Chains A and B, each alone.
Chain A
Amino acid sequence: MLDGTIDRNALSDEDFRQAFRSWLEAHYPDEWRKPIVFRLRGEEEKRWLRMLHAHGWRLPAWPKVHGGMGLSMAKQIIYHEELERYGAARFLDSGGVLLGPILIQYGTPEQQQKYLPEILRGDVIWSQGYSEPNAGSDLASLKTSAMRDGDHFVVNGSKIWTTMVAESARMFLLVRTSQEARKQQGISFFLMDMDTPGLTIRPIENLAGDDEFGQVFFDNVRIPAENLVSDLGAGWNVAKALLGVERISAGSPGLSRHAFDIFERLVGELGLASDPIVCELHARLYCDLADFTALYEHVAEAAVRGEAEGEALSALKILSSETFQRMSDAAMQIASEHAGVLGATRIGALEAELHRVYMIARPASIYGGANEIQRDIIARAILGKAA
């Protein structure tokens, strides 16, 4: 049932929160309520996106003219908060979250008509081809090349750490189309079908035991010229176009709060509530979460006013990753021998996936701009550029 007649933007923020919460309570599959350890992929991700679409909850940030909800920044933030609060599984939705806004801003009408509706319906999973073996944080050093050949561009090189690449039907990617004085120039933004000849995918298993990401090899892969987004050589600016609410939700305390819950339940199950060392640790973690939540709320409010500065968002990114890590570290610290168990382990009434949580927390300080980069951004704001 497609109900496009409801204007959820007309609701008050509180009513909106309540409406989304009620909908989640009524419709969200219980088996997916596994925050941190579970991420929807492939068909399950599509099922979720289609569900959102069918009930009018798909794509809070897209403008209505393109089929999104066109929500205010405040309501977008609430939307993400409610998903986190409900303990919904993580999901990537690279097409809706990352590519959609880019196509809406830079795509041709033909590109928009071809790609936006299928993303909206949740029919197509996209992956993001940015990082390369020698271009991670220093993304502008990327070397995968595209050479013009008639109506096509011929791509050679390799992309890596491409999340959900095995499940994706299409990929948006950055490639070098010319050598320029500044490395940020000469980069172009392309759209590509994953069944194009010349592509090889090597899955990569991560330390959490998932093979969600992979490496992609390009051997004379021919991409139609019409798949270029914006101008040739304009890819860097296209890719760094503001991600809006994503930068706020990437800095939210959701994962930290769920990891803190696990820590607290461990304290209870292990009977450590009156251990003075555990108490001190517990109190520290509690205050870390409380103060981080306070800062998140203040910055999110400022973002709604359009007054959140880059360094504040960088601070949130550092806090969201490192607080999450500290919570998972602390769980290991108090879990005694259970800390060495591979896979789930039963501790009293608690079925804990300590190892998985611990490992899922590791890359949080790497992806989305490594924390060292975030510290550079903050330092530039308070000290100016390094000489």
Chain B
Amino acid sequence: MWRRDDDIQTMLRESAENFATMAHDLQRVRRCRVSAEGHEPAVWTEMAALGWTGAMLPEQFGGAGLGLAPALTLAEIWGRHLVSEPLIASSVMAATVLSQSSSDRALALAAAIAEGGATASLAYQEELGVLYPSPPKTIATREAGAVVLSGRKIFVPCWSANTHLLVTARLDDQTVVIAIDPQVAEAHVGESRRMTDGSISVDLEFRSAAISADDVILMGGAASQAVDLAIARGMLALSAQMEGLCVALLKMTGDYVLQRVQFGQPLGSFQSIRHSLANLYVQVELAGAAWRSAASALEDGPLDEARGAISSAKARASDTALAVAKAAIQYHGAFGYTEEADVGLYVNCALRLASWLGNAPAHRALALRQHQQRQASHA
């Protein structure tokens, strides 16, 4: 097996697999898909006790200080079992931003995520289909010791009424990140959308919302770099999660074609199906290798050097997840087209993960741009 875990990853994988078997099943996934939060807060609290919600947070923030690779292992398991809790939004993306701040406000929120199972979501997106954001159009101004916020964010992921928000804005001509508590009246929830994986994304509007100056947790270059890094790590985690999803769904489809008999033999004996699954297997191998290499590039060097590899990985994982999803429906036959079959849960999850933080064509275009810029700078 070319995939290899280090000791920490092996331990995490075992405990997460164990959790997924004992405390989780696809019935729970179905419950989450119609719940107000899109996940089960009680389960998230249990995960906090296991050290997963704060896996990436440094120890002085109350976290486990495990770094990126172990978090990606967790994401993989999330994908295999369709775990609904907001690992990527809270524990990868929000945690990355929080851990770049030295403010008490950030520290407290980080500790709440790590220890108590608070959830947080990074509200940076203002336009559709943008991979890394330009300076925010949301404006913050200083008024009488407070900060007044005006602007609009779209598709804020994994939102619930109890989600803490990390909002990007422009203050004093610099990018800032502002922490906002849940249910603050000044954050108007616009359109709320149930996503295909069962999570909730909302548009938020700030109409001259007055916020304490202490809530500004990051400013300037540190703020925009933290947001970019959070997004990059989120892309990697999504890629890992999609690989996990593909592995599980391919296995499930393989098991099905081996037991389903037609024309006097298992479907899994027909070469057309065998070769088609072999092709998908090759794509899953590519997806698994691509995100692992990209993760090494991000751990070993600056984000700018890793952007292309990250995008290539996210593109491969997105296309592969959708390809495996469609094949799974096809090879489960009419049964695969029913709501009651579990195949649909995977297909729906794949649709969400493939389009979140940029779809495959957008990422391929970015990967090519980075390649060309590197060529031009060498020329």
* Interface segment out of the listed A96-104, A215-223, A377-385: A377-385
Task: Please pick, from B269, B281, B367, the residue contacting A382 in the complex, using a CB distance under 8 A.
Answer: B281
User: Are B286 and A291 neighbours in the complex by a CB distance under 8 Å?
Assistant: yes
Does A295 lie at the interface of the complex (its beta carbon under 8 Å from any beta carbon of B)?
yes
Using an 8 Å CB-CB cutoff, how does the interface string of A268-288 with B read, 1 for contact, 0 for none? 000000000001101110110
Interface presence of A19 (CB below 8 A):
no
Quick one: given A312-B285, A319-B282, A386-B269, are A283 and B290 in contact (CB under 8 Å)? no
Among A113-147, those with CB < 8 Å from B are none
**Residue B21 at the A interface, CB < 8 A?**
no
Contact A294 B293, beta carbon cutoff 8 Å = yes
| Residue of B1, B266, B268, B364 with highest tally of chain A CB at under 10 A | B364
Q: Cβ of B244 < 8 Å from any Cβ of A? A: no
Q: Which residues of A contact B282 (CB under 8 A)?
A: 315, 318-319, 378
Known: A376-B274, A382-B278, A386-B271. A290 touches B367 (CB 8 A): yes
Q: Are A283 and B364 CB-contacts (below 8 A) given A291-B312, A376-B274, A382-B281?
A: yes
Whether, in the assembled complex, B41 has its beta carbon less than 8 Å from a beta carbon of chain A, the answer is no
Interfacial chain B residues near A279, Cβ < 8 Å:
365, 368
Say what secondary structure dominates the interface of chain B: helix
Asked if A211 lies at the interface with its beta carbon under 8 angstroms from chain B, I say: no
Nearest-neighbour CB distance to chain A for B268, whole angstroms, equals: 5
B277, B285, B364, B371: which contacts A383 (Cβ < 8 A)? Answer: B277
Q: Cα distance A212–B183 when bound, in Å?
A: 76
> Quick one: which of A244-267 are within 8 Å of B by CB?
none
Picked from B278, B293, B361, B365, the residue with its CB within 8 Å of the CB of A379 is B278
Nearest B residue to A264 via CB reads B375
- Interface stretch of the complex, out of B28-36, B186-194, B250-258: B250-258
Q: Is B245 an interface residue (CB 8 A)?
A: no
For A283-312 the 0/1 string (1 means CB < 8 A from B) is 110110011101101110110000111011
Q: Give Cα A86 to B356, complex, Å.
A: 40
Chain A residue with Cβ nearest B309: A290
C-beta contact mask, A77-115 vs B, less than 8 Å → 1, else 0? 000000000000000000000000000000000000000
Question: Do the beta carbons of A379 and B289 come within 8 Å of each other?
Answer: no
- Interface presence of A10 (CB below 8 A): no
Chain A nearest CB, measured from B291 CB (Å):
9
Does B4 interact with chain A (Cβ within 8 Å)? Answer: yes
Question: B274 touching A386 by the CB < 8 A rule?
Answer: yes
Q: List, in ascending order, chain A residues with CB within 8 A of B289's CB.
A: 291, 294-295, 297-299
Any A CB within 8 A of the CB of B279: yes
Residues of A within 8 Å of B365, CB to CB, are 279-280, 283
Assess whether A387 is interfacial by the CB under 8 Å rule.
yes
Q: Is B313 an interface residue (CB 8 A)?
A: yes
- Between A286, A307, A319, the greatest number of chain B beta carbons within 10 A of the residue's beta carbon is seen for A286
Size bracket, chain B contacts? 35 or more
A375 at the interface (CB under 8 A from B): yes
CB distance from A325 to the nearest CB of B (A): 14
Known contacts A375-B274, A379-B274, A387-B269, A311 near B281 by CB under 8 Å: yes
Residue of B nearest to A305 (CB): B4
- Size bin of chain A's contact surface: 35 or more
CB 8 Å contact bits of B336-376 with A (1 = contact, 0 = none): 00000000000000000000000001001101100100000
Given contacts A286-B368, A291-B290, contact A302 B278 (CB under 8 A): no
With contacts A291-B289, A375-B279, A382-B250 known, is A283 near B367, CB below 8 A? yes
In this complex, which of B1, B254, B281 has the most chain A Cβ atoms within 10 angstroms of its Cβ? B281
Is the CB–CB distance between A295 and B278 below 8 Å?
Answer: no
Contact A299 B2 (CB under 8 A): yes
Decide if A15 is an interface residue (CB 8 Å cutoff): no
Query: Cβ of B285 and Cβ of A290 under 8 Å apart?
Result: no
Contacts of A372 in B (CB 8 A): 275
Given contacts A294-B289, A315-B281, contact A301 B367 (CB under 8 A): no
Q: Which residues of B contact A286 (CB under 8 A)?
A: 312, 364, 367-368, 371
**Chain A residues near B62 (CB-CB < 8 A):** none
Q: Determine if B70 is an interface residue (Cβ-Cβ < 8 Å).
A: no
Instruction: Give B258-288 as 1s and 0s: 1 = Cβ < 8 Å from A's Cβ atoms.
Output: 1000000110110100110111011001111
Contact of B368 among A283, A291, A294, A297 (CB under 8 A): A283
Q: Name the contact of B258 in the complex, choosing from A315, A374, A384 (C-beta under 8 A).
A: A384
B361 (CB) vs chain A CBs: closest residue: A280
Which of A282, A301, A312, A375 is within 8 Å of B275, CB to CB? A375
Are A302 and B312 in contact, with the CB atoms below 8 A? Answer: no
B4 touches A302 (CB 8 A): yes
List the A side residues contacting B281 at CB < 8 Å.
Answer: 311, 315, 378, 382
Instruction: State whether B2 touches A298 (Cβ < 8 A).
Output: yes
Give the complex CA separation of A375 and B288 in angstroms.
Answer: 19
Query: How many whole Å from B72's CB to the nearest CB in chain A?
Result: 15
B2 close to A312 (CB less than 8 A): yes
Q: Report yes or no: B308 in contact with A302, Cβ–Cβ below 8 A.
A: no
| A309:B1 contact, CB within 8 angstroms | yes
Does B164 interact with chain A (Cβ within 8 Å)? no
Given contacts A307-B4, A312-B285, A378-B281, 11 further A-B contacts (CB under 8 A): A286-B367, A291-B290, A294-B292, A295-B290, A309-B1, A315-B282, A378-B278, A379-B278, A383-B268, A386-B269, A386-B271
Can you list the 4 inter-chain pairs with the closest CB atoms, starting with the nearest?
Answer: A302-B2, A295-B289, A379-B274, A283-B368
A and B contact pairs by CB, cutoff 8 A, 7 listed: A284-B364, A291-B313, A294-B289, A294-B290, A307-B4, A309-B1, A375-B278
